[in-house]
Chains A and B, each alone.
Chain A
Amino acid sequence: MEYPDNLRYTKTHEWVLLENDGIVTVGITDYAQDALGDVVFVELPDVGEQVDAGEGIAAVESVKTASDIYAPVSGEIVEVNIDLNDQPELLNTEPYGGGWIFRIKPDNPADVEKLLEAPAYQEFAESQ
């Protein structure tokens, strides 16, 4: 199970990367994809949508379950990963790479700092 150090995490198993352009990229963690099993569909948010931190804005389906994906920070959706429409399995094979889900322009980039760091998330995930 990987928990890259350069990312921040939420207790709802999203990872968050604050990029140099001030935009935040979001996906689900290795732990989350493993728990879900084979992902078969990703319901993406709409570009341009204004979202609040903690709001369910996307969903990931495996064969027998469906889980909501929550916005880790408030802001505007600026991009979604349309590759997932044809290749939802990217969430399983490259959770921290090609399996990213959406990008948010945060209202307040400092919000990212409030999220969990890798060791804290790892401890949380492994206690589940």
Chain B
Amino acid sequence: MDYTPHTPQDLQAMLERVGARSLLELFEDVPAEIRDPELRLDPPLSEAELMRHLRELAAQNGSAVASFLGGGIRSHYVPAVVPALAARAEFLTAYTPYQPEASQGLLQAIFEYQTMISELTGLPVANASMYDGSSALAEGVLLALRESGRMKVALSQGVHPEYRRVVQTYADAVGAEVVTLPLVEGKTVPRLPEGVGAVVGQNPNFLGTVENLAPLAEAAHAAGAQFVAVVDPVSLAVLKAPGAYGADVAVGEGQPLGNAMAYGGPHFGFMAVRAELVRQLPGRLVSETTDADGKRGYILTLQAREQYIRRAKAKSNITTNAQLTALMGAVYLAALGPQGLREVAVRSVATAHALAERLAAIPGVKMVTPAPFFNEFVLELPKPAEEVRRALAERGIHAASPVPAEYGPKAHGPARPEGNLTHLALFACTEQHTEADLERLEAALREVLA
């Protein structure tokens, strides 16, 4: 089925008015040899048939009673009010708010979102959103390079490995050099290369360790570079804001704020900067202003940075962003408030510590993440992580995603030559996990490792 309302009578009347005998005649500008090709697609489905087909596909995905997977995407609870409000058709089916008189709802919601991100990050200016955490970081790095006028990036090894790969791809495009700052015992070594323009650290880092990034920020500034912090938004309920330890730019992944995991997207990326960098920011920005009657209103501003005005000289090519998922983030933050977000953070941390204690007590399992850690941690298992993840999945639990070999002994602690590089596995906890969930995971892991 399709969604066109034309009756045969409509068709005839409309074709007559435009002076065409058939629909195909409207395509006469298309060279005949390529016009109206055969298309090999499945036969069309009705809505009922489609849903049945999709349910069958969904059934081919294994279901789990609990997910302890992490890496910045986690099974935090999404309150019902979040999708209920974001799914309002006026938000869902609107385009970018270029006509402010008809878009005050979204514009005000974005202004409020910008304020919330500014509060979390401790930086005064936040944009309206980026695609996700990884691309927000890549854009943050490009911003830092523009500002410093240099072409070298130093990335802490503590930054999510997928994010680093994305930065590498973007850097390759502009010919910038990428250097990795090793993690030693869970902390970034702040030894910066000559001529560095952008320095990046992550807190909590990929191993889950809460890293004090102030020394890295200081080193960056001493070297004439901009400092970019990758942060987890839930952690900012209790951890120091990046603005407080010298970050020029803060970016992160917004999924934990009211967005379903959705096999990795769509979520949203957030980005905030110090005031002086506002004109270097990529993406949309909303400002308060007044209307012809002196009434308060909101409007997109500083648009001369963007591609549709600045074309080849734009700060970025970003156009579509992640407005609806960022709106879900804002609704989530308002639904929980400062106290609720703190409780989510505290419970996630406490549960992760309890889980780490349980699992590290299993024979052959070693804690890898150096203290202090937040709500994700890495264990070294006596079997390959890949194998363990699958065996746990068969027991209805998602956990133990493999951690890249680069996070071997050197990165996490005193040299331990016995460390097996394929045996590192990541675990994460959220406020949803119960004591019973921890017990179940522990029992399953004991069984798998036995």
Q: Which residue numbers of A lie inside 8 Å of B, CB to CB?
A: 40-41, 43, 59, 61-66, 68
Contacts and interface: CB of A to CB of B under 8 A. Distances in A.
Contacts of A40: 304
A64 B279 contact: no
Contacts of B148: none
By size class, the interface of chain B is under 10
B18 interface: no
Contacts of B310: 66
Contacts of B65: none
Given A66-B304, A66-B310, 8 more contacts: A43-B279, A59-B313, A63-B304, A64-B304, A64-B309, A65-B304, A65-B309, A66-B309
Contacts of A59: 313
Interface string B239-255: 00000000000000000
B303 interface: yes
Contact of B279 (A41, A62, A63, A65): A41
Contacts of A68: 313
Nearest to A65: B309
A112 B309 CA distance: 32
A88 to B, nearest CB: 12
Contacts of A64: 303-304, 309
Contacts of B304: 40-41, 61-66
Interface in B264-318: 279, 302-304, 309-310, 313
B424 to A, nearest CB: 48
20 contacts: A40-B304, A41-B279, A41-B302, A41-B304, A43-B279, A59-B313, A61-B304, A62-B304, A63-B303, A63-B304, A64-B303, A64-B304, A64-B309, A65-B304, A65-B309, A66-B304, A66-B309, A66-B310, A66-B313, A68-B313
Contacts of A66: 304, 309-310, 313
A47 to B, nearest CB: 15
Contacts of A61: 304
B313 to A, nearest CB: 8
A66 B314 CA distance: 10
A61 B309 CA distance: 10
Nearest to B306: A66
B300 to A, nearest CB: 10
Q: Which of B279, B302, B304 has the most CB of A within 10 A?
A: B304
A41 B278 CA distance: 12
Contacts of B313: 59, 66, 68
A66 B279 CA distance: 13
B401 to A, nearest CB: 46
Contacts of A63: 303-304
Nearest to B310: A66
B289 to A, nearest CB: 11
Q: Which 4 A-B pairs have the closest CB atoms?
A: A61-B304, A66-B304, A66-B310, A66-B309
A61 B304 CA distance: 7
Contacts of A41: 279, 302, 304
A43 B278 CA distance: 13
Interface in B403-418: none
Nearest to B299: A63
A62 B309 CA distance: 11
A59 B309 CA distance: 13
B161 to A, nearest CB: 37
Contacts of B309: 64-66
A43 B302 CA distance: 13
Contacts of A43: 279
A68 to B, nearest CB: 8
A45 to B, nearest CB: 13
A25 B310 CA distance: 27
A65 B311 CA distance: 11
Nearest to B308: A64
A62 B302 CA distance: 9
Nearest to A66: B304
A61 B310 CA distance: 10
A42 to B, nearest CB: 11
A39 to B, nearest CB: 11
A41 B313 CA distance: 16
Nearest to A67: B304
Nearest to A60: B304
A38 B226 CA distance: 33
Contacts of A65: 304, 309
A41 B305 CA distance: 11
B279 to A, nearest CB: 7
Contacts of B302: 41
A41 B279 CA distance: 10
A7 B177 CA distance: 47
Interface string B118-156: 000000000000000000000000000000000000000
Interface in B175-192: none
B287 to A, nearest CB: 11
A80 B127 CA distance: 29
Nearest to B309: A66
